[in-house]
Amino acid sequence: MDKNTVIGFVLIGVVLFAFSWLNRPTPEQIEAQRRLQDSIAQIEYLQGLEIQKQEAKNVADEAGSIPAEAADSLQQARLQATYGIFAGAMSGDDGYTTLENEKVEVRISHKGGHVAYARLKEYDNWEGDPLVLFDNEEVKFDFTLVTATNRVVNTRDMYFEPVKGNDANAVTMRLATGNESYLTFTYTLSPDDYQMKYAIQAVGLNGVLAPSTNALDLVWEQDIRQQEKGRKFEDRYAALYYKFVADDVENLSEGKNDNKKVANRLKWIGYKDMFFSTVLVADGEGFEATTLESVHLAEGKHLKHYKTTTAIPFDIQGRESTDFTFYFVPNQYSMLRKYDKDLSGDDRLELDRLVYLGASVFRWINKYFMIPIFDFFGRFFSSYGLIIFLLTVVVKIVLFPMTYKSYMSSAKMRVLRPQVEEINQKYPGESKAMERQKATMELYSRAGASPMSGCVPMLLQMPILISLFMFFPSAIELRHESFLWAKDLSTYDAIVSWNTYIPLITPYFGNHISLFCLLMTVVQIFYTKFNMEMTNTGQQQMPGMKAMMYVMPLMFLVIFNQYASGLTYYYFISTLITIMQTLAFRFFINEEKLLAKLEANKKKPQKKSGFMKRLEEAQKQQEEVLRRQKEEQAKRQNRSKR
């Protein structure tokens, strides 16, 4: 081979490499191709199902027109042709095998071999009936199997044989193939607990299922029952939750239809209503290529419909089982935390995320402050109305320094009110607004009063108040707990109800009036009037501001009328305590001495704070802008006269 030939081959190789490099598919194109292949496979799968259904229908039609013996033979032949080695599993017992302990009753359906019923024994629904998470009509749990002869079958259509062992709380559901091979679903309910182990294992299925089988496609659907009295309020807290492997917990939208395709592996998937959840945890590699869907149901006895389409690892050789854990749990924070007791790092389940406590700082306050105090009082008192009252007192004690500082700021402004009114008379009208504001700020600065000093403490209280707003509706401890006239502190306490649908009122306010919410509104209106009189500094207010202050409590009446009575009871008690604190401050603080102290401050050398300096600089800049505007206006007027 001469030199030119070698160079030619090298150049051809370079050209081919460059062509391949420049024309390689992008990641987006690869993903699009994968989706196309998945869609084609799905279409072929659905077509196969339709063919199988039509063949089964033909079997039934033909069986009805020939003698019984011949019909049985014909049906068996057709089933063999349609379902192959699984033909024998297409008939069987429609019964159930029940597993139960002190907390949970679970029924395993022989058809499909799946969990078809789950009841929490310690709870009931708002009508007093047993609390059933789902029954056979409300759940679908189906695996797709592809045989070695390319037949597609579904576990939901086939009958499993229950095999009981020595453990009364365990059962193995066996799907036989007619040979020495079968698929097993093993369920083991833990004693005195809400969890149940679930293991899938192949026995001799190599040669029965397609050789390329290394995963099983799973479709899990469930209708979520309405368990609480306030449907609209409960619906806000029902959502499909999921946790990534070694990552955070997320959820689909609570308020609208939602779906999401998840490329990363998931550790668990949870179907949650307001206070109860069904969770499936993958003990191994996790769920892969998952599609999650949540559909809102506007009417009927169900709130939402959840659906999961995913794939799970599967060893066709049967050397290893695919392990899961079902949790049929109340959403009780302290109890869910216990499942992470012996786990650390990425192994933690974080099932407590099913309890909505707010995000970031609000969840932190609830976890480390509100819940420990709430649980502490719960160990000594059985009345949750009393526990909420005591929690409110503790919160008010913690906030007392900020409340006191805020009151002192408003008291300083109030005792300086006569001097502010003198300034208003000295600089009347809009034309002297800048001079009036400057003189007022100088008065406050010399006296040692600051309008901002009362706002900052109030802002610092907001995280705690918002955290409590998140905590009370999620506290299952309040569920079905009565106090005074409220029969259930986890929902509204209606004193007046009606059935007629009233436009604008029924969708937003509801068909009832909650007494604690009404009392909360009345007290807040009284406090608004009282507080406006206490904080009147003599300065001019924006038009309509006074009316707006009274509108806010009325807006809260509309917003909170369908909320938990435990929450509105807290706001009612909290506002009452605030009024009593304000009256106590007014009684014990001598405003004459306070005014004398402020007058003495005027004689001291002035040391301006950074805020006051920035405020004065801003005023000077504003005055300069106004001066220039007046000069420009005067020049334009002079030019127009000429």
Residue with tokens 């400057």: 438
For residues 80-88, average pLDDT: 67
Nearest to 449 by CA among 401, 408, 418: 408
List, in sequence order, every residue forming a beta bridge with 262; answer none if it has no partner: 290
For residues 449-473, average pLDDT: 77
Number of H helices, E strands in the chain: 17, 21
Which pLDDT score is estimated for 70?
46
Encoding tokens for residue 187?
């369920």
Residue 587: pLDDT band by 50, 70, 90 thresholds?
A: confident
Nearest to 227 by CA among 102, 356, 132, 335: 132
Looking at the chain, the domain(s) classified CATH 2.70.98 span 95-353
Which pLDDT score is estimated for 534?
63
Which pLDDT score is estimated for 11?
61
Would you list the DSSP string of 82-126? Answer: HHGGGGGGGS----EEEEE-SSEEEEEETBTSSEEEEEEEEEE-T
**Using one digit for the tens of pLDDT, what is the confidence trace for 407-423?**
887 777 777 777 777 77
Mean pLDDT taken over the chain: 81
Q: Report the alpha-carbon distance of residue 341 to residue 335 in Å, rounded.
A: 10
Encoding tokens for residue 351?
């099932």
Encoding tokens for residue 305?
């419909």
Nearest to 108 by CA among 372, 116, 211, 3: 116
**Using one digit for the tens of pLDDT, what is the confidence trace for 602-637?**
666 655 556 556 666 766 677 677 677 777 777 777
List, in sequence order, every residue forming a beta bridge with 183; answer none if it has no partner: 175, 202
Residue 55: pLDDT band by 50, 70, 90 thresholds?
A: low
**Using one digit for the tens of pLDDT, what is the confidence trace for 216-250?**
999 999 999 999 988 888 999 999 999 999 889 99
Cβ-Cβ contacts under 8 Å for 441 (sequence gap 6 or more)? 612, 615, 616, 619
Of the listed ranges 12-21, 57-66, 554-563, the one predicted with least confidence: 57-66
User: Which of 445-454, 474-483, 522-531 reaches the highest mean pLDDT?
Assistant: 474-483
List, in sequence order, every residue forming a beta bridge with 312; answer none if it has no partner: 216
SS (H, E, C) 386-430: HHHHHHHHHHHHHHHHHHHHHHHHHHHHHHCHHHHHHHHHHCCCH
Which pLDDT score is estimated for 45?
52
Pairing of strands 96-100, 104-109: antiparallel
% of the chain with per-residue pLDDT over 90: 41
Residue 367 reports pLDDT greater than 80: yes
Residue 302 reports pLDDT greater than 70: yes
Cβ-Cβ contacts under 8 Å for 268 (sequence gap 6 or more)? 242, 243, 279, 280, 281, 282, 349, 351
Residue 443 reports pLDDT greater than 90: no
The count of other CB atoms within 10 Å of the CB of residue 544 is 9
Encoding tokens for residue 385?
């109305």
Pairing of strands 322-330, 195-203: antiparallel
Encoding tokens for residue 639?
């030019």
Cβ-Cβ contacts under 8 Å for 60 (sequence gap 6 or more)? 75
Position 133, amino acid: L
Would you list the DSSP string of 264-294? Answer: S-EEEEEEE-SSEEEEEEESSS-BEEEEEEE
Of the listed ranges 17-31, 332-346, 484-498, the one predicted with least confidence: 17-31
Q: For 446, phi and psi rounded to 5 degrees? A: -70, -35
Q: Report the alpha-carbon distance of residue 445 to residue 616 in Å, rounded.
A: 10
For residues 262-272, average pLDDT: 94
Residue 535: pLDDT band by 50, 70, 90 thresholds?
A: low
Residue with tokens 């050398």: 605
Nearest to 550 by CA among 513, 516, 521: 521
Residue 191 reports pLDDT greater than 70: yes
Residue 508: pLDDT band by 50, 70, 90 thresholds?
A: confident
DSSP-assigned letter for residue 159: B
Q: Report the alpha-carbon distance of residue 617 to residue 64 in Å, rounded.
A: 97
Comparing 391 with 3, the larger pLDDT belongs to 391
Residue 59 reports pLDDT greater than 60: no
Determine contact, residues 570/519, Cβ cutoff 8 Å: no
Determine contact, residues 146/213, Cβ cutoff 8 Å: yes
Which pLDDT score is estimated for 220?
96
Comparing 326 with 405, the larger pLDDT belongs to 326
Residue with tokens 């007058």: 599
Q: Report the alpha-carbon distance of residue 504 to residue 522 in Å, rounded.
A: 22
Position 624, amino acid: E
Q: Residue-wise over 573-605: b if at least 16 C-beta within 10 A, else e?
A: bbbbbbeebbeebeeeeeeeebbeebeeeeeee
Residue 32: pLDDT band by 50, 70, 90 thresholds?
A: very low
For residues 555-561, average pLDDT: 88
Of the listed ranges 54-63, 234-243, 261-270, the one predicted with least confidence: 54-63
**Using one digit for the tens of pLDDT, what is the confidence trace for 122-155?**
999 998 999 999 999 999 999 999 888 888 889 9
User: Which of 24-28, 227-231, 426-430 reaches the highest mean pLDDT?
Assistant: 227-231
How many residues comprise the chain?
642
Comparing 256 with 54, the larger pLDDT belongs to 256
The count of other CB atoms within 10 Å of the CB of residue 132 is 17
Q: Report the alpha-carbon distance of residue 356 to residue 234 in Å, rounded.
A: 13
For residues 476-489, average pLDDT: 92
Q: Report the alpha-carbon distance of residue 563 to residue 637 in Å, rounded.
A: 62
Residue 48: pLDDT band by 50, 70, 90 thresholds?
A: low
Helix/strand/coil for 76: helix
Fold of 95-353: Beta-galactosidase; Chain A, domain 5 (2.70.98)
Q: Report the alpha-carbon distance of residue 488 to residue 482 in Å, rounded.
A: 5
Determine contact, residues 182/161, Cβ cutoff 8 Å: no
Of the listed ranges 183-197, 227-241, 467-481, 609-623, the one predicted with least confidence: 609-623
Cβ-Cβ contacts under 8 Å for 204 (sequence gap 6 or more)? 179, 180, 181, 182, 318
User: Which of 84-88, 161-165, 301-305 reaches the highest mean pLDDT?
Assistant: 301-305
